[in-house]
Amino acid sequence: MAMAALLALLVIFLSFFIRVAYEIVTCYWLTPRRIKRIMEKQGVRGPKPRFLVGNIADMEAFVSKSTSDDMDSISHDVVGRLLPHYLAWSQLYGKRFIYWNGIEPRMCLTETELIKELLSRYSTKAGKSWLQQQGSKHFIGRGLLMANGADWHHQRHILAPAFMGDKLKSYAGYMVECTEQMLQSLRNEVELGQSEFEIGEHMTRLTADIISRTEFDCSYEKGKQIFHLLTVLQHLCSQASRHLCLPGSR
């Protein structure tokens, strides 16, 4: 009797182990190889991925090299500095290529007509990926930015009244007032002799002021505090998303 029970437990354990092993091999090896072959048959190629990490190390190397020195001049053309891997791979593989963020394939499209077709006809299928959702779940949760399909349409329908024309027009006074205050603070700093500004910080502060006054008008300081905490959380999530996420590693 005891031997039969032991054998039954052994069979259950082996079945569970084989199933888990099959799922892992399928997820991390077979499926990526299958996707790669399918895309290559359609003429879509890209950099060779490494096992598990894909092209993450390549992207980090490109960005590290491009941002190692200061810009020679002020320019709005920052793609080559912030996304150098896109430029390098588009020159090698064309306007349409595929690269790998870990085990997850990502396709880069630069052809306008294809982008329009993707967003209009296949918008429900081209949503946020699992890795994107996992990387941002502690920052924005399962809200509109990370929702897919029917869930996205449901949340968008709920939020639509907040973005009606009349509603937005009512915020114009707050926007003008906050902008004038920011411009006045810049003028004051110029009069004190300052000639260079980190405009990103001022624009972030302006955005926080507008959101705080329109959405937290009864508690302005509390709104600013919430925005500051969200900014800190955004930086932490951004740092965490740069590393490979393995099941059970968090």
Q: What is the DSSP letter of 218?
A: T
Report whether 97 contacts 108 (CB < 8 A).
yes
What is the reported pLDDT for 148?
75
Per-residue pLDDT of the chain (250 residues; tens, 9 = 90+): 667 777 777 878 788 888 888 888 888 888 888 989 999 999 899 999 888 888 988 999 999 998 888 877 777 888 888 899 999 999 999 889 999 988 888 889 888 888 888 877 876 666 677 666 666 666 666 777 777 777 777 888 887 887 787 888 888 888 898 899 889 989 998 888 888 888 888 888 888 888 777 766 655 666 677 777 877 877 776 666 555 455 444 4
Beta bridge mates, 54? 50, 101
Q: Are 232 and 226 in contact (CB under 8 A)?
A: no
Could you give the angle at which helices 199-215 and 172-191 cross, rounded to 10 degrees? Answer: 150
Residue 209: Cβ within 10 Å count: 21
Q: Looking at residue 220, what is its pLDDT?
A: 60
